[in-house]
Chains A and B, each alone.
Chain A
């Protein structure tokens, strides 16, 4: 298990659960805009958007994590994330805060889960009684 970097996390929600993505991987948070479908792409790739002249693929994170498909409403956001040279946008139910979670407040993820989610979570953060699942971006982008 690699160590989880302490610091600030962009918090977003999927199915009322809070997730965190290390702020160093986040380029921006955008409102959902019209996207162009990409035929023959995996089902969790919703399509591509025009982000200030760049073509960015957007990923339905709910689909990727096995929650079914995202329903886009006025709260939905696209989190534009960067991992090495790969830039992608994640569609999430909502995102409105950045929290600082210290390393000692992040536990290892429970090992019991056989589901898809547990692969993509690298830690469980605690913040004032809330539970925040820290995303393993590398893993999410790997396959």
Chain B
């Protein structure tokens, strides 16, 4: 019977990712609390589950890697291996490898072809196993167990014939320009006195320069180590050579007894799913209560439908109105219920940060305490996917640019340990996420300098900028505060990308900063993206929708009160000078009407406000947001479209892009 693995792939990816998250978390905890056996047991259990899952799915490489990880964890349990930072680092790296692999499975349905020899070797070194085992593990992790056996067989035969087998590890110099060519020369040289029976990475990969600086070959020769070394050392750009003799023994035989299992494994792996065209779909885990609630509401819908059918014959208007009210109540509840199904705790995004902060603080030599709260705040699943990258960027920024080095902090009379806070909380129809640090704050002068240097702004116009406007400069394209491009931030992705990403999910971002006290980024995102409350307005005879969440006030103003400041129409309103935007102008609609009074919809973006001049107000309505589609994705000022009750389409204004 053919098992369709595709069917289980989604589940595998989802669960594997969850397990990895948990493992990251547990290992972090374990690093702080070495003696906690419970954590260790839990970690071991999850690694074991993951191994089993991967094995069942035929992802042999993942399964191999987790197997060795398990061995290391087992060593912890039996106190054979002490937990130290190096080992934890290696384990984290292994987790990363697994994550890449699982991502690759999610995208293509196949394991990455690359092996984990390096990773496995590092783990083996921890386990302190002898070289033969190392070799064996190396071959175990290979693509095809037959080849491994083949190599071992050759080694055995060679030894019978009195030839020596060696594993030669060659490291090229770091500034070696043509690695592949250099490797080719080495291969040629070696082949003069020895037979190369295998290489890692494979010869093809080496030819394609798919290796770092190191590669490893297994050779058979009658020469001794010293002679081999002499030959290779003469080649330029070779940095390091290590030669390990291989003595064939029972290990190879033992392997054969294992081959039953191996054969089974290869069989499974052959059934790898054919290339999937689509990625793994987005999934949401739902509490059964929420689904029950949905079901109840749907049955109520059916009841009201029957009731309305009965009523359609009668002319009693009161009954009809009552029924419509009832229907309205149900649809509102249904909407709520469906939204709740789509809600996921933001924990899913936050989970990755403890690990990230740990790695970064080590890398940068800074001491950082990450404080997280509100992880159980729920947001729409689509928001979860979009918010991850911007948050990563902001947290990286805080650590890289915000928090000072420990000695600097002590000089400033600050606690040696810097604090980065990641806080989420619901606020009305929005969710607020704050990334806060107690670092050095944003240096306005430096930002200004940078902006001028980068050509974001001219020197003249930079002079009179307010602090707020200077902050806004950081969000312009082409601006990045890092002097030197570090690995942490400044990967060519700046705050402008963060901003546009957040705006693409109808969110906004604000910055508060105080010199030497710290910086706080406040992100505000809507709870859901699919259905919103909106105000419908008319400009000439076209209807537009403005999201209610961005409206602060509606008022009539006297047209005479509108002034012009540097070509921009403004109005003094409640003590503030607010820009006035004539919708008909930006929407390219002719306006002939002469009016004394104008209807203004005041909209807000963060703490900034502007007034939109409209012709008529229609009213508030719940609207379903429909995307404009890929073809029209770049159109200015529009966030999407919605279908009105009469079937006509009305466009939704993207308030964030208006001012």
Contact = CB atoms under 8 A, between A and B. Distances in A.
A40 interface: yes
A37 B649 CA distance: 9
Contact of B588 (A39, A53, A85): A39
Interface string B621-659: 000001111111001111011010001111100000000
B626 A38 contact: no
Contact of B589 (A39, A56, A57): A39
A86 B632 CA distance: 10
B631 A36 contact: no
Contacts of A86: 629-631
Contacts of B650: 36
B278 to A, nearest CB: 11
Interface in A5-50: 34-41, 45, 48-50
A55 B631 contact: no
B588 A40 contact: yes
B649 A39 contact: no
Contacts of A45: 632
A49 B627 CA distance: 12
Given A38-B635, A57-B629, A88-B631, A48 B641 contact: yes
A37 to B, nearest CB: 7
Given A39-B587, A50-B647, A50-B649, A56 B635 contact: no
Contact of B643 (A53, A57, A85, A88): A53
A56 B628 CA distance: 7
A56 B629 contact: yes
Contacts of B629: 55-57, 86-88
Q: By CB atoms of chain A within 10 A, which of B586, B627, B643, B650 has the most?
A: B643
B459 interface: no
Nearest to A56: B629
Contacts of B588: 39-40
Contacts of A38: 628, 632, 635, 638, 651
Contact of B648 (A50, A53, A88): A50
Nearest to A49: B649
Interface size class of B (residues with CB under 8 A): 20 to 34
Interface in B578-631: 586-589, 626-631
Given A34-B648, A41-B632, A55 B627 contact: yes
B542 interface: yes
Contacts of A56: 629
A82 to B, nearest CB: 11
Given A39-B637, A48-B641, A57 B631 contact: yes
A36 B627 CA distance: 14
Contact of A48 (B586, B628, B636): B628
A36 B638 contact: no
Nearest to B583: A39
A55 B630 contact: no
Contacts, number: 65
A85 B630 contact: yes
B389 to A, nearest CB: 22
B641 A55 contact: yes
A71 interface: no
B628 A55 contact: yes
A111 to B, nearest CB: 29
B637 A40 contact: yes
Contact of A55 (B542, B586, B626, B636): B626
B589 A55 contact: no
A48 B631 CA distance: 11
Contacts of B635: 38, 40-41
B589 A48 contact: no
B279 to A, nearest CB: 13
B628 A36 contact: no
B536 to A, nearest CB: 13
Interface string A64-92: 00000000000000000000011110000
A8 B640 CA distance: 35
Nearest to A84: B630
B21 to A, nearest CB: 31
Contacts of B647: 50
B586 A39 contact: yes
B641 A36 contact: yes
A94 to B, nearest CB: 24
Contacts of A85: 630
Nearest to A88: B631
Contacts of A87: 629, 631
A44 to B, nearest CB: 11
A96 to B, nearest CB: 26
A41 B641 CA distance: 14
Contacts of A36: 542, 641, 648-651
Contacts of B632: 38, 41, 45, 48, 57
Nearest to A33: B647
A57 B628 CA distance: 7
A53 B648 CA distance: 10
Nearest to A87: B629
A141 interface: yes
A131 to B, nearest CB: 29
A37 B629 CA distance: 15
A54 interface: yes
A17 B637 CA distance: 37
Q: By CB atoms of chain B within 10 A, which of A36, A39, A50 has the most?
A: A39
Nearest to B630: A86
Contact of A141 (B542, B626, B628, B631): B631
A118 to B, nearest CB: 23
Contacts of A88: 629, 631
A89 to B, nearest CB: 10
A57 B632 CA distance: 7
B530 to A, nearest CB: 13
A2 B589 CA distance: 43
Contacts of B638: 38-40
Given A36-B648, A57-B632, 14 more contacts: A36-B650, A38-B628, A40-B586, A40-B635, A48-B632, A48-B651, A50-B648, A54-B626, A55-B626, A55-B627, A57-B631, A86-B630, A87-B629, A87-B631
18 contacts: A34-B648, A36-B648, A36-B649, A37-B542, A39-B589, A40-B638, A49-B649, A50-B643, A50-B647, A55-B640, A55-B643, A55-B649, A85-B630, A86-B629, A86-B630, A87-B629, A87-B631, A88-B631
Give the 10 A-B residue pairs with the shortest CB-CB distance, closest first: A39-B587, A36-B649, A55-B626, A55-B641, A40-B636, A39-B588, A86-B630, A57-B632, A86-B631, A57-B631
